[in-house]
C-alpha cells in the first residue's frame, strides 16, 4: 500500500462508519439507569453480532482461541514499542519509532476511554441483546468504540508505515483483523464498535507518524548544521510529552 493513499482510505472508512452507526438502535447510545431491558437482534449490526457470538457455541476451542487473541493485545502494545526502542539503542540507530508508536497508543487509549466512550454511552451487547454470550469477563465500561480494535489496528498501521515490507504489513493486518473479529465473537462489542475503533487507532498512529517525520527532518538538519554530534534517540524521549 502506498503511504500517500492511507489518509484517503481512513477518510473513506470514517464516512462509511458515519453511515452505518445511525442504523443501530438509538437506545444503545442513550443514558441508561439501572439494568437495560433485553431485546432480540433488530438490525444488521445486532444480527451480525449475534451470529458471530454463537460461532463457537458447543465447543471450547474456538472461544478459547478468540479470548487468547483478544487478551494478547495489551501485552503486545507494551512489548512492541519497548522492543523497537531497545533494538534502536543497541544498534546505534534512531529509536524514535518505538517512542512515537508508544505515545500514539497512549493517546489512542486516552481518547477512547475518556472522551469517545463517555460521549457515545453505548452499553455492551451482553447488557442489551438477549442470548448474547459474555466470554470476556474483563470487559467493562461502555462499548463504542472498541479499544482492542483501535490498539491492534494502530499498531498495524504504525509498523506498516515505518517498515513498508510485505512481511510486516501482511502479518500486522492479519493480527488486527483477527483481534477485531474476536470482539463480537466474545460478545463484548458490536461490529460498528470494531469499525470505529479501527478508524480511531489508525488515524492516531498516522498522525504520530507525521509528527515523527517532521521531528526526524529537524534533527537531521540539526546534525548537518552543527559541528557537535547530536543524538536523535536522546531527543526522542520528549515525544510522549509533546504528542
Residue 28 is assigned to a structural domain of this protein: no
Given a cut of 90, whether residue 186 has pLDDT beyond it is yes
How buried is residue 81: exposed, middle or buried, by Cβ count under 10 Å (0-12/13-18/19+)? buried
* Alpha-carbon distances of 221 from 94, 172, 208, 214, rounded to whole Å: 15, 32, 20, 11
Residue 132 is assigned to a structural domain of this protein: yes
Domain interval for residue 103: 41-242
Backbone angles phi, psi at 129, to 5 degrees: -100, 125
Structural domain tally of the chain?
1
Residue 33 is assigned to a structural domain of this protein: no
Mean pLDDT of the chain: 79
> pLDDT digits over 85-122, tens only?
888 787 766 678 889 999 999 999 999 999 999 999 99
Residue with the bigger pLDDT between 10 and 207: it is 207
Say which CATH number the domain at 184 has: 1.20.144
Residue 2 is assigned to a structural domain of this protein: no
> pLDDT digits over 148-179, tens only?
999 999 999 999 998 999 999 999 999 999 99
Residue 201 is assigned to a structural domain of this protein: yes
> pLDDT digits over 190-234, tens only?
999 999 999 999 999 999 999 998 888 766 544 444 444 434 433
Res 216: pLDDT? 80
Given a cut of 50, whether residue 187 has pLDDT beyond it is yes
Res 241: pLDDT? 32
Percent of the chain with pLDDT over 90: 54
Query: What is the pTM (predicted TM-score) of this model?
Result: 0.75
The torsion angle over the Cα atoms of residues 140, 146, 151 and 155, rounded to 10 degrees, is 160
Residue 31 is assigned to a structural domain of this protein: no
29-49 residues labelled b (16+ CB within 10 A) or e (exposed): beeeeeeeeeeebeeebbeeb
Residue 56 is assigned to a structural domain of this protein: yes
Residue 26 is assigned to a structural domain of this protein: no
Amino acid at each position: 500500500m502506498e503511504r500517500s493513499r492511507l489518509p484517503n482510505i481512513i477518510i473513506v472508512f470514517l464516512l462509511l462508519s458515519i453511515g452505518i452507526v445511525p442504523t443501530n438502535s438509538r437506545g444503545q447510545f442513550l443514558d441508561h439507569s439501572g439494568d437495560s431491558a433485553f431485546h432480540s437482534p433488530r438490525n444488521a449490526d445486532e444480527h451480525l453480532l449475534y451470529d458471530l457470538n454463537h460461532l463457537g457455541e458447543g465447543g471450547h476451542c474456538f472461544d478459547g482461541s478468540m479470548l487468547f487473541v483478544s487478551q494478547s493485545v495489551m501485552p503486545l502494545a507494551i512489548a512492541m514499542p519497548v522492543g523497537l526502542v531497545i533494538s534502536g539503542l543497541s544498534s546505534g540507530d534512531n529509536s524514535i519509532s518505538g517512542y512515537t508508536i508508544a505515545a500514539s497508543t497512549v493517546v489512542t487509549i486516552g481518547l477512547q476511554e475518556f472522551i469517545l466512550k463517555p460521549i457515545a454511552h453505548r452499553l455492551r451487547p451482553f447488557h442489551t441483546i438477549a442470548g448474547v454470550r459474555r466470554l470476556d469477563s474483563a470487559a467493562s465500561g461502555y462499548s463504542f468504540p472498541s479499544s482492542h480494535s483501535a490498539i491492534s489496528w494502530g499498531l498495524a498501521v504504525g509498523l506498516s508505515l515505518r517498515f513498508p515490507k510485505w512481511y510486516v504489513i501482511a502479518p500486522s493486518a492479519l493480527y488486527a483483523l483477527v483481534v477485531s473479529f474476536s470482539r463480537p465473537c466474545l460478545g463484548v462489542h458490536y461490529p460498528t464498535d470494531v469499525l470505529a475503533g479501527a478508524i480511531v487507532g489508525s488515524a492516531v498512529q498516522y498522525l504520530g507518524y507525521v509528527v515523527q517525520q517532521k521531528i526526524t527532518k529537524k534533527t537531521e538538519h540539526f546534525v548537518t548544521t552543527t559541528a557537535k554530534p547530536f543524538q536523535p534517540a536522546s531527543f526522542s524521549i520528549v515525544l510522549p510529552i509533546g504528542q
